[in-house]
């Protein structure tokens, strides 16, 4: 009887241990599966965050590049015009070459009109496709007079005067001297990036065409 009770007790204990182990093992498997799913969800979330961060970084980089290009565009255009105007060919003492020269200046600088006037405001030459040359000559004369008044008050002679109207058209007058004569080279442009020194590289070519050979 005692032996039977012992054997029965041992069997019950083994069943309890086995059942507890199986229950614990199942519970552990469920916990591991839950943990694995949580890790997978976190990994997916991290991948999504990295992708979003990469897209945002790309957008910021593109925005920065666009901003830099907008800032540099006027400088690049100014350098292009200066270099191309400085490379124009003109023979000295060839007044008949003034019109072709102004044509090339208008083409390179993308000017609608390029006009050369004397100190009385009389047109000396204009590019072939010039528009409203007489009206532009009158405007250049008024701007030159205004420059003279500024010189009288402050003692500093303006080299250029630039005006922009409501239609975004820009009038640039470059005042210079050739053989004791005050001349004005005036350009009309629709480019808002036009700089006050845009005509400077062309002055040597115009002066050369106006100067009689020695």
179-209 pLDDT, tens digit per residue, is: 888 899 999 988 877 888 889 988 888 888 8
Which residue has 């065409």 as its token pair? 209
CB neighbours (10 Å) of residue 89? 9
Q: Is the pTM value of this prediction over 0.85?
A: no
Least confident of 9-18, 44-53, 106-115, 167-176: 9-18
Question: For the residues 5-10, what does the mean pLDDT come to?
Answer: 54
CB neighbours (10 Å) of residue 3? 7
Backbone dihedral angles phi then psi of residue 141, each to the nearest 5 degrees: -65, -45
Res. 154 pLDDT band, cuts 50 70 90: low
**What is 41-84 written as a DSSP string?**
HHHHHHHHHHHHHHHHHHHHHHHHHHHHHHHHHHHHHHHHHHHH
Question: For the residues 131-151, what does the mean pLDDT come to?
Answer: 81
pLDDT score of 214 more than 50: no
């Amino acid at each position: 009887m005692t032996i039977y009770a012992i054997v029965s007790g041992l069997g019950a204990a083994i069943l309890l241990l086995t059942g507890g182990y199986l229950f614990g093992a199942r519970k552990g498997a469920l916990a591991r599966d839950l943990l694995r799913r949580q890790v997978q969800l976190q990994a997916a979330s991290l991948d999504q965050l990295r992708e979003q961060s990469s897209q945002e970084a790309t957008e910021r980089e593109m925005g920065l590049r666009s901003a830099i290009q907008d800032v540099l565009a006027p400088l690049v255009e100014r350098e292009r015009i200066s270099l191309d105007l400085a490379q124009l060919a003109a023979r000295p003492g060839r007044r008949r070459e003034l019109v072709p020269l102004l044509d090339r200046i208008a083409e390179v600088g993308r000017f609608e009109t390029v006009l050369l006037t004397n100190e009385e405001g009389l047109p000396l030459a204009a590019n072939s496709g010039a528009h409203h040359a007489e009206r532009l000559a009158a405007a250049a004369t008024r701007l030159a007079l205004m420059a003279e008044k500024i010189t009288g008050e402050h003692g500093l002679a303006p080299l250029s005067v630039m005006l922009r109207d409501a239609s975004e058209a820009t009038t640039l007058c470059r005042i210079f001297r050739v053989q004791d004569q005050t001349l004005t080279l005036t350009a009309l442009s629709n480019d808002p990036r036009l700089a006050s020194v845009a005509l400077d590289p062309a002055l040597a070519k115009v002066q050369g065409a106006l100067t009689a050979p020695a």
